[in-house]
Structure 1
Amino acid sequence: MADKVVLITGTSTGIGLAVAAAAVRAGYRTVATLRNPDKAGPVRETGADVRRLDVTDSASITECIDGVVADYGRLDAVVNNAGVSVFGTVEHLPMSEIRRAMDVNYFGVVEVTKAAMPHLRATKGRVVTVTSVGGAVGQPFNEAYCAAKFAVEGFMQSLEPVAATVGVGVSIIEPGAVTTEFVANAHIDPAAVVAEAGPYAPALNAYINRTRSAYSTGQTADQVAAVVMSALTAYPIVFRWQTSDYARSFVASSLSDLDGSIVAGITSHWIR
């Protein structure tokens, strides 16, 4: 991997930070990007080349990717990892929050991929995108988040055969619960959101209690990063990767659920 250049988005914490560290260890020339340079301390310690990239800012995306190609002469892989949690049900969520979920989690992925594609065609490179089991299974009180992740998976599944005709591999990564700062960064006060939930309060309280348990036993970011690295190097290229046995079982329940009853049966129990 000594000559290969990988660019990773959303590397200040969690999965992105772990992928940056793993890519450096694997010998990639690793460009770790993040929106806020003030949070770059941990990723700088990995030895990656740290640069600013805000996936909601077109100029930032163009400047970063053009700069990487100018400095390194090539781009071999992009790992779309930047994301944001938007929690709540549609009746209570402001439209600004729903749009933010789409801007970061979907349009950001699309725009970074679009900017990178000409360079990835030149190197027969890879696009690896971290989605979620929430990109295959809709989950209560995560309408906006899951909608964005479903959109990402539809986009990437549609792009994959087209990109393959020009030598670019496309893969998605579907983690389940991961013990990172992602949930904490949603800035949710459980007591406050339940108090403001009105008729949804009983269901929301049940969901929060279930989710706390799930995340307390979740995977580590390093375990997910190992799957990302496998996707970057796999031959033949594999499109869809789950990161645990739980994730495989959960995603399979949706992909085989022709009438929707299996998923409804699973998730309805989370809010009772």
Structure 2
Amino acid sequence: MSTGTNRCVLITGTSSGIGLATAIACARAGWTTVATMRDTTRAVALNTAAETAGVSLDIRVLDVTDDESVREGIDSVAAEHGRLDAVVNNAGAAHLGTLENDSLADIRACVEVNFFGVVQVSHAAMPHLRANGGRLLTISSVGGSVGQPFNEAYCAAKFAVEGFMQSLAPVARTVGVQVGVIEPAAVTSEFVANANVDVAAMVAQAGPYAPALTAYAQRVQAMYEADTGTSQTSDEVAAVVMETLTAPEMPFRTQTSNWARDFVGWSLSDLNGATVYEETRGWVS
């Protein structure tokens, strides 16, 4: 990958949270930064952050669930900027629910944005990344290694992302493209709020799952408190993204905190699944 100041990166889902923070961090580092989102009327916070940081961004519409939007968006970036050196797949959507209470449409919608959206962007970007010895980095989650209660659809999508990218990584490397995933844990951003979940209403409609959902919701609320030691800010995660993106050799899997490393480690070393099962079972008791 080029080490000059003309490096160009495209980031999806930059209206808030990790995507916004990563866009600002890339621009500060001298990258030509293309910050994309489904609806650019939501770019107010991003524009404000850019003005505060004294950086310029190329803000564009890109809907990761729309193949035409993805292909036209990525091809136009490569054409107008003359290159594409890196893509950060950040766009995603939280989803809270469980199998019996979710509709199949809910599950499909979650997988569509969190998995197929990543695949669509990556598919369109690969020829450009291959031409420049580029990097393909996807914001996954500890939920891509550890299945979590009431997150079946979300974790399924993230597991799929990690399986896809881990399988792609050695193949892509033969043509000069490095592939990796970032696994944050709890992040104090708008991600969960953007899921538009009314937990009280969900509990009221959860039937026999109400006690378990109540216990889980209380645990998550505690985790997202900034002083618990388990959560990070979006800026802290973005710093890890930048460190990974610019490393001489990009690791495949990077956790963003010691807590995330320990948490993912339980699953990666848990051959029969008992450790993770006993841990997560306690979240809903």
Q: TM-score, length-normalised on structure 2?
A: 0.94
Q: 2: CA distance between counterparts of 1:237 and 1:54? A: 27
* Aligned residue in 2 for 1:203: 212
Matched-pair contact (CA < 8 Å) for 1:202–1:271: yes
* Aligned residue in 2 for 1:149: 158
Matched-pair contact (CA < 8 Å) for 1:133–1:251: yes
Q: 2: CA distance between counterparts of 1:4 and 1:246? A: 32
Give RMSD over aligned pairs. 0.7
* Aligned residue in 2 for 1:10: 13
In the TM superposition, structure 1's runs of 4+ consecutive aligned residues that sit over 3 Å from their partners are none
* Aligned residue in 1 for 2:252: 239
Does 2:153 correspond to 1:140? no
Q: 2: CA distance between counterparts of 1:42 and 1:235? A: 32
* Aligned residue in 1 for 2:76: 67
Match runs of 1:59-138 below 5 Å: 59-138=68-147
Structure 1 unaligned spans of 5+:
none
1:23 to 20, 23, 26: 26
Q: 1: CA distance between counterparts of 2:277 and 2:82? A: 49
* Aligned residue in 1 for 2:66: 57
* Aligned residue in 1 for 2:282: 269
Q: 1: CA distance between counterparts of 2:271 and 2:239? A: 32
Matched-pair contact (CA < 8 Å) for 1:43–1:50: no
Letter in 2 for 1:79: V
Q: 1: CA distance between counterparts of 2:109 and 2:89? A: 17
* Aligned residue in 2 for 1:176: 185
Structure 2 unaligned spans of 5+:
51-55
Question: What is the Cα deviation at residue 42 of structure 1?
Answer: 2.0
Q: 1: CA distance between counterparts of 2:210 and 2:45? A: 38
Q: 1: CA distance between counterparts of 2:159 and 2:165? A: 10
Q: Deviations over 1:78-107 (max 9, x none)?
A: 000000011100101111110111110000
- The alignment-based identity, stated in percent, is 60
Count of aligned residue pairs for this structure pair: 272
Letter in 2 for 1:226: A
Q: 2: CA distance between counterparts of 1:58 and 1:234? A: 31
Match runs of 1:242-253 below 5 Å: 242-253=255-266
Q: 2: CA distance between counterparts of 1:200 and 1:13? A: 32
Q: Deviations over 1:1-34 (max 9, x none)?
A: 4110000000000000000000000000000000
Tell me the SS of whatever aligns to 1:62.
helix
